[in-house]
Amino acid sequence: MVHPRAVELLQFRPKDVIEFAPKNILPLADSGYLRETMMMRLPMPEAILSGFLMMFAVPLLAQTAKPVDVIVQRASLQPLQNRIEALGTLRANESIRLTSNVTKTVTDINFDDGQRVKKGQVLVEMTSAEERALLDEARITAEEARKQMERVRALVETKAASQSLLDQRVREYESAHARYLAINARLKDLQLVAPFSGVVGLRNISVGALVSPGDLITTINDDSRMKLDFTVPELYLRSLRVDLPISARSRALGDKVFEGRIYSIDNQIDPVTRAITVRALLPNDNGELKQGMLMSIDLYANQRESLVISESALVPMGSSNFVFVVELQDDQQVVERRQVTIGQRLHGAVEILTGLEVDEKVVTHGLQKIRSGTLVNITAEETGEETLSELIDSAS
């Protein structure tokens, strides 16, 4: 015998259910709440029949659901580049420690602390009276030996002297001339000159001081341009190249930005830090940069055009990321959930490597009310320049 409630349920049509269902049932039917409620309240035979009934009723109820209001954004191509941050130390373009290579007494100092000097300028002079006397002696000896050589050469040409005598006079002249050059070199060692143009440091000696080899007299830096040495992780090795522009700043100079370019890249990676040393050159026309100064560096590599969307459009699920793309189906706007691969993260935006095409619309606001297949109504389209309140006002 068939249960009377079963017969009554069999006589129901989907249309009857739709007409009979209250308006507040429609959202519940799509979520499964209506189905679970009917199954719990009916006996087993009636529950089975109601299950078949809901298979037809729920899709029809969903079709009558009101589209969800959403805000979207078009995926657009934007120029991107990888930003690499580092810390580096400034070095002068050329830098030396000025020292003496003989033990002598200082007789004259021709510079002041912090003075700019020219290449070849005499900075320090030491006692040289003995060397000058020896130089005069060697010059006279070499001149006399030259005259004797010329006289014998003339006699050899008239067969009045032998060739061996001429060879002896040539040797005597060359020996005397070599001695003259040696004493002249020793005399030059008693004058310390600037090897290049630059600025001298603090003076560490006074007139009358006895200096020895290795004693520091002062330092000279060529600060017309500065070398900036810094390390970059080996991960970015392929992004580095000579002449790549960089920007550097120092807190000591009020974060003033100095522009430069990579000059050279080391030929090996440090096996401990797994980083490579890079050297950049910075112009220093005003002399603001000093050797040893700590600089923070930003360099931009891998310049490209890539697809970018708002970060609010991303729906992370575990290690994957999804977006809801608005598509047109039968003259209706429907969202489709699509997995994407993200790249560089920007301020409020994210780079999309795969999964989207240019000008496709993705939902940025209203994500909590939609799922794949939901009908939507686009109330506003953001460009990234307006605020959320402005978007809401334009939608209303």
Q: Is residue 107 part of a domain?
A: no
Q: Looking at the structure, do residues 275 and 348 belong to the same domain, yes or no?
A: no
Q: Is residue 201 part of a domain?
A: no
Q: Give the integer Cα–Cα distance in Å for 254 and 288.
A: 12
Query: pLDDT confidence of 39, banded at 50, 70, 90?
Result: very low
Q: Looking at the structure, do residues 382 and 312 belong to the same domain, yes or no?
A: yes
Q: Looking at the structure, do residues 293 and 315 belong to the same domain, yes or no?
A: no
Q: Looking at the structure, do residues 287 and 225 belong to the same domain, yes or no?
A: yes
How many CA atoms does the CB half-sphere of 306 hold within 13 Å?
Answer: 21
Q: Is residue 351 part of a domain?
A: yes
Q: What is the pLDDT of residues 353-370, one digit of tens each?
A: 999 999 999 999 989 999
Q: What is the largest CA-CA distance in the chain?
A: 159
Q: Looking at the structure, do residues 36 and 72 belong to the same domain, yes or no?
A: no
Q: Looking at the structure, do residues 282 and 312 belong to the same domain, yes or no?
A: no
Q: Is residue 116 part of a domain?
A: no
Q: Is residue 213 part of a domain?
A: no
Q: Looking at the structure, do residues 376 and 326 belong to the same domain, yes or no?
A: yes
Q: What is the pLDDT of residues 119-139, one digit of tens each?
A: 999 999 999 888 899 999 999
In eight-state DSSP terms, residue 66 is: P
The counts of H helices and E strands in the chain are 8, 19
Q: Looking at the structure, do residues 266 and 310 belong to the same domain, yes or no?
A: no
Q: Which amino acid is at 88?
A: G
Q: What is the pLDDT of residues 244-261, one digit of tens each?
A: 999 999 999 988 999 999
Q: Name the helix (H) or strand (E) containing 371.
A: none
In eight-state DSSP terms, residue 255 is: T
CATH of the domain at 379: 2.40.420.20
CATH of the domain at 166: 1.10.287
Which of 279, 303, 327 is the last residue before a domain boundary? 303
Q: Is residue 236 part of a domain?
A: yes
Q: Is residue 146 part of a domain?
A: yes
State the residue range of the domain holding 47: 4-63
Q: What is the pTM of this model?
A: 0.61
Q: Give the integer Cα–Cα distance in Å for 108 and 191.
A: 10
Q: How many domains does the chain have?
A: 4
Q: Looking at the structure, do residues 272 and 334 belong to the same domain, yes or no?
A: no
Q: Give the integer Cα–Cα distance in Å for 82 and 302.
A: 6
| pLDDT for position 15 | 41
Q: Is 300 exposed, middle or buried (0-12, 13-18, 19+ CB in 10 A)?
A: middle
Q: Can you list the positions of beta strands (E) in the chain?
A: 68-74, 76-99, 104-109, 116-117, 122-126, 191-193, 198-200, 210-211, 216-233, 245-250, 256-269, 275-283, 294-310, 315-317, 320-329, 332-345, 349-354, 361-365, 376-382
Q: Looking at the structure, do residues 391 and 319 belong to the same domain, yes or no?
A: yes
Which of 277, 303, 329 is the last residue before a domain boundary? 303
Provide the 10 A C-beta neighbour count for residue 222.
Answer: 19
Q: Give the integer Cα–Cα distance in Å for 338 and 363.
A: 11
Q: Looking at the structure, do residues 241 and 318 belong to the same domain, yes or no?
A: no
CATH of the domain at 260: 2.40.30.170
Q: Is residue 138 part of a domain?
A: yes
Mean pLDDT on 107-126? 93
Q: Which residue has the tokens 């507040």?
A: 24
